[in-house]
Amino acid sequence: MSGNRELRGRARGMGWRASRAWGWWRRGAFDGAGLSRGRGAIGRAMVAALLLTWLGLTPAAWGQRSTVSTGYYDPDTSFRPELSPRDVHVIVTVLGLKPEEVAAVNTLYDGYTSELATGARAVMRDVGEAIEKAEVMEDARLLGPADSSWGKWRTQADDIKVRFLEDLKSLLTKDQEARWPLVERELRRFKLIGNGRIAGESVDLTRVADEVVPKVWENPEAAQVLEEYAATFDRALMARETAAGRFGQGKESWSKLVEDEPTKAEEAFQDVLRVRRALRDVNQRYERQLEGKLSDEEAAKLRDAIFEKSFPRLFKETYSQRYIEAACNVESLTPEQRARAIELRQGYVAAVRAWRTRAAGAMVEYETQDYPQELLVKLGKIPAGFADGFQGYSFLPEDHPLRKVRLDRYALDKESREKMQKILSPEQRRGLAVQPESTASFTDYSPYTP
């Protein structure tokens, strides 16, 4: 499964240290699902902080001092309710609740989120106090209370969710309770859909439709498509979990197969890939059906949202993108400059949109070759050293479609930015808040296991 990790490092000083640190990261710190074998989010944050710190050290500082950081949570994401308001909306729709029953569920949900928020504040206080004391005393052992508080919180959050679902179930009539297996199906999809690896596999058509077409459930034909989708997707989802689960919760059994019988490992990888593609096919088939039940405007919104969620790496903002946008907003532009800048931006946006379509096609074609790096080494497709660090597309030949399409994007960005620079005066260029990047940033989507 994809790690989706963010790697940042200075352009200089990324030699053997980066390779060793990244190799250690890949070999044992994380399992196939991208979760630390140690303390979950704590371990992930700690490994990330250590790696980023090592990559940033200068040679002179390497043997003298280092900075070690331990992170416990992301304040923006770690305390979000596992069930979002949209998830609850889907659940009550599946159950067919009446308005007054929906109001009762919303009251329950408010209590659920309130209890989570209260617990979150207590955890942040406990962790913060432990960190402050440990830093002042320069004694990492004093982080113990933070470890304990965070561990208890994860259990507490699960318990709060279970109570919410039990309370929700207690509100149902016998007829509604008979539909509870449908709720369990929805919860299963919410939980497991993120285990996708290929483009479009982790897209939840129900969620996306609910986001971009708010009244989709009021359209009987569209609602029928979504109900059929949920049942079909659930079967394909469970087939995927069974196929991918053959290799255990960690990566040990997969690594052993790669080491002992790489040819069989390649066959197993292709077998799981076929199941993953079948799951994506369900998404694509029902997306087309749903679009046929919507207005042209709604269908276009749905199509764009599905595409972006299927290929997020094609939507990473570039320096040239930011530059062009900032240039169009310079207050001192003359009317003639502004007209030229806006025209250039419109052409650039259209060209990027067309490029994304081509790049998406190249990415889908590459899926059958996108093996874990350790398997590529055992099959003799890349040198052994390539398995020890982040590589991206660096081992692909220069004429590979993915490298060519990526080069096309770079050329488009560079040419468009330079044209925009010519529209601006020297003073306007100097006043732009957007500056060239000082940090190289890569997101690693390479798989660990099938």
Map out the domains of the chain as residue ranges: 1-71, 80-312, 314-435
DSSP state of 316: P
pLDDT of res. 437: 85
Average pLDDT, the chain: 85
Under the banding of pLDDT at 50, 70 and 90, the label for residue 262 is very high
Cα distance between residue 83 and residue 71, in whole Å: 24
Contact between residue 232 and residue 185 where contact means Cβ atoms under 8 Å apart: no
Under the banding of pLDDT at 50, 70 and 90, the label for residue 104 is very high
DSSP state of 442: E
pLDDT of res. 1: 43
Backbone angles phi, psi at 36, to 5 degrees: -65, 140
No. of H helices and E strands in the chain? 18, 2
Contact between residue 34 and residue 3 where contact means Cβ atoms under 8 Å apart: yes
Of the candidates 359, 332, 358, 330, the one whose C-alpha atom is nearest the C-alpha of residue 345 is 330
Mean pLDDT of 91-98: 90
More confident site: 335 or 5: 335
Contact between residue 21 and residue 51 where contact means Cβ atoms under 8 Å apart: yes
Mean pLDDT of 121-139: 94
Cα distance between residue 394 and residue 374, in whole Å: 15
Q: Which 3 state secondary structure label does DSSP give 382? A: coil
- Cβ-based burial of 158 (10 A; exposed 0-12, middle 13-18, buried ≥19): exposed
Contact between residue 8 and residue 41 where contact means Cβ atoms under 8 Å apart: no
- Cβ-based burial of 60 (10 A; exposed 0-12, middle 13-18, buried ≥19): exposed
pLDDT tens column, 33-63: 333 333 344 444 444 444 444 444 444 444 4
Mean pLDDT of 12-28: 35
Of the candidates 431, 394, 368, 19, the one whose C-alpha atom is nearest the C-alpha of residue 199 is 368
pLDDT of res. 116: 93
